[in-house]
A = this chain, B = another copy of it.
Amino acid sequence: MVPRYTRPVMAAIWSPENRYRIWFEIEALACEAMAEYGAVPKDAAKIVREKGDAAMAAFSEADLARIDEIEAETRHDVIAFLTWLAEKVGPESRFVHLGMTSSDILDTCLAVQLTQATDLLLKDLDDVLDALRTRAFEHKHTLTIGRSHGIHAEPTSFGLKLAGHYAEFVRNKERLETARAEIATCAISGAVGTFAHLDPRVESYVAERLGLKPEPVSTQVIPRDRHAAYFCALGVIASGIERLAIEVRHLQRSEVREAEEFFHKGQKGSSAMPHKRNPVLTENLTGLARLVRSAVIPALENVSLWHERDISHSSVERNICPDATIGLDFALARLAGMMSKLLIYPDRMAANIESLGGVVHSGEVLLALARAGLSREDAYRIVQRNAMETWTKLGTPEGRTFRENLAADPEISGRIPAETLDAAMDSRQHLKALDGLYQKVFGESGPAL
């Protein structure tokens, strides 16, 4: 992921320093466990821990360079690290990595990094949820036109729109929690995963201390269906970001203008065109969603490793693990900020509801006529006539509102009192189920009408 879309806090998880720190922790814990179960002298394990901790605490650019230097020679990253560690720990280093394979370190480390990344993403989701909740309560009774197919349908509440997105992000959080459990497993099972040279209790010991579960069957590698499911979850979340971003992009269109991304005072590019406030954040989120989703297919293709393992997944993961988590972290943070500061224009929403002359209330008039005893066919005919009259003359000098046309139609005025017509034109009737809906979504019904 390019720096432009990278937050340092997530990038740090994927840094070499963090990786080496986790590698050491796995080796130190495994050594302690072996000491506990008799395979390694307790004193040796203690020295490994103490000298290793000291080396990691003092870890610097020079150490990075030294490890790179060894890797250039050995062409093997884990051996390079272990060699560097041996230089720091001394003779007791012979008790490090006993009976283990590189994959034991690599895959367990990846599990730790992914859980760290996921914890950050879960926090990001909380921020998005907070922003959506706040704005949803703020605009619980803000009327806006509901649109199907991009065409005005019936009024709804802007808060309810946001409640729908909130509910989706609650689901997304649950998906991410499930995905976190998927990848939070530990494998210290040795060559082809048979524990031939390793006590299975070592794995349990390390797993517990790292907050992971032992992998039921690792075949030298942790099975990649777990990672595939993980990236699928990220892909679904990305699509949820896209849906909300597209909603905002629509609302900010020049013809709609019901909402606008917050615009920094000094922000340049449109000094002479004050209306040219472009929804660049949400357009950017649309693109980022595509990027995060692009990890899904390669992750699915990674599942079918040959026999006990091949290494085709490795190059894929070296890229998609940081790229997708960094991209999603950035996108969620941007989304939360955008939603918090979104400029919302209830007046424009109200104006847009009425902009078609009131025909959006025709459904309620139909029901009123039916309640007044008309057959469905007759009711339709009358409503349709007036709606058509309103619609075709909309914006012309002879144009009248739907309400005016209805009042002038004897088939209506003779049957329905004016107050009933007024009530049918009142968008607030579309708010009546909100308390229950808010209760379901947020656990509280929010302000009363």
Determine whether the beta carbon of B232 is less than 8 Å from that of A149.
no
- Which residues of chain B are near A154, meaning CB under 8 Å? 191-192, 194, 196
Neighbour of A195 across the interface among B264, B311, B384, B433, CB < 8 A: B433
Question: Closest Cβ of chain B: how far from A174's Cβ, in Å?
Answer: 9
A28 at the B interface (CB under 8 A): no
User: Can you name the residue of chain B whose Cβ is closest to the Cβ of A228?
Assistant: B236
Determine whether the beta carbon of A149 is less than 8 Å from that of B355.
no
Query: Which listed segment binds B: A53-61, A113-121, A294-302, A409-417?
Result: A294-302
- Which residues of chain B are near A163, meaning CB under 8 Å? 217
In the complex, A446→B441 CA distance in Å? 48
Determine whether the beta carbon of A296 is less than 8 Å from that of B380.
no
Neighbour of A303 across the interface among B164, B192, B240, B320, CB < 8 A: B240
Once A149-B278, A151-B278 are accepted as A-B contacts, the answer to whether A284 and B311 lie under 8 Å apart by CB is: yes
Determine whether the beta carbon of B196 is less than 8 Å from that of A433.
yes
Question: Closest Cβ of chain B: how far from A140's Cβ, in Å?
Answer: 13
In the complex, A284→B312 CA distance in Å? 5
Within A241-294, the residues touching B (CB, 8 Å) are: 242-243, 246-247, 249-250, 252-256, 264, 266-269, 271-280, 283-284, 286-288, 290-291, 293-294
Determine whether the beta carbon of B217 is less than 8 Å from that of A437.
yes
Determine whether the beta carbon of A194 is less than 8 Å from that of B156.
yes
Once A148-B308, A223-B168, A440-B216 are accepted as A-B contacts, the answer to whether A433 and B200 lie under 8 Å apart by CB is: yes
Determine whether the beta carbon of A192 is less than 8 Å from that of B232.
no
- Which residues of chain B are near A149, meaning CB under 8 Å? 249, 278-280, 283, 306, 309-311
Within A67-96, the residues touching B (CB, 8 Å) are: 73-76, 79, 94
Determine whether the beta carbon of B294 is less than 8 Å from that of A295.
yes
- Which residues of chain B are near A232, meaning CB under 8 Å? 229, 232-233, 235-236, 296
In the complex, A353→B383 CA distance in Å? 33
Query: Which listed segment binds B: A19-27, A30-38, A43-51, A359-367?
Result: A359-367
Determine whether the beta carbon of B253 is less than 8 Å from that of A150.
yes
Determine whether the beta carbon of A239 is less than 8 Å from that of B255.
no
Most B CB atoms within 10 A — which of A194, A356, A430? A194
Within A191-238, the residues touching B (CB, 8 Å) are: 191-197, 200, 214, 216-217, 219-220, 223, 225-226, 228-229, 232-233, 235-236, 238
Determine whether the beta carbon of A290 is less than 8 Å from that of B298.
yes
Once A194-B430, A312-B287 are accepted as A-B contacts, the answer to whether A255 and B252 lie under 8 Å apart by CB is: no
Once A148-B309, A275-B356, A391-B275 are accepted as A-B contacts, the answer to whether A217 and B319 lie under 8 Å apart by CB is: no
Query: Which listed segment binds B: A1-9, A123-131, A336-344?
Result: A1-9
In the complex, A147→B240 CA distance in Å? 26
Determine whether the beta carbon of A225 is less than 8 Å from that of B239.
yes
- Which residues of chain B are near A284, meaning CB under 8 Å? 311-312, 314-315
Determine whether the beta carbon of B194 is less than 8 Å from that of A315.
no
Determine whether the beta carbon of A278 is less than 8 Å from that of B316.
no
- Which residues of chain B are near A228, meaning CB under 8 Å? 235-236, 239
- Which residues of chain B are near A312, meaning CB under 8 Å? 283-284, 286-287, 290
Q: List 13 A-B contacts (CB under 8 A).
A: A149-B249, A153-B308, A157-B194, A161-B219, A194-B433, A196-B432, A232-B296, A239-B303, A243-B305, A250-B306, A272-B387, A274-B387, A296-B296
Considering the complex of A and B, which 6 residue pairs feature the smallest CB-CB distances, nearest first? A146-B192, A287-B315, A232-B232, A149-B278, A239-B303, A195-B433
Contact surface of A with B, Cβ cutoff 8 Å: 1-2, 4-5, 73-76, 79, 94, 99, 145-157, 160-161, 163-164, 167-168, 171-172, 175, 178, 182, 191-197, 200, 214, 216-217, 219-220, 223, 225-226, 228-229, 232-233, 235-236, 238-240, 242-243, 246-247, 249-250, 252-256, 264, 266-269, 271-280, 283-284, 286-288, 290-291, 293-298, 300-316, 318-320, 322-323, 352, 355-356, 359-360, 362-364, 366-367, 376, 380, 383-384, 387-388, 391-392, 429-433, 436-437, 440-441
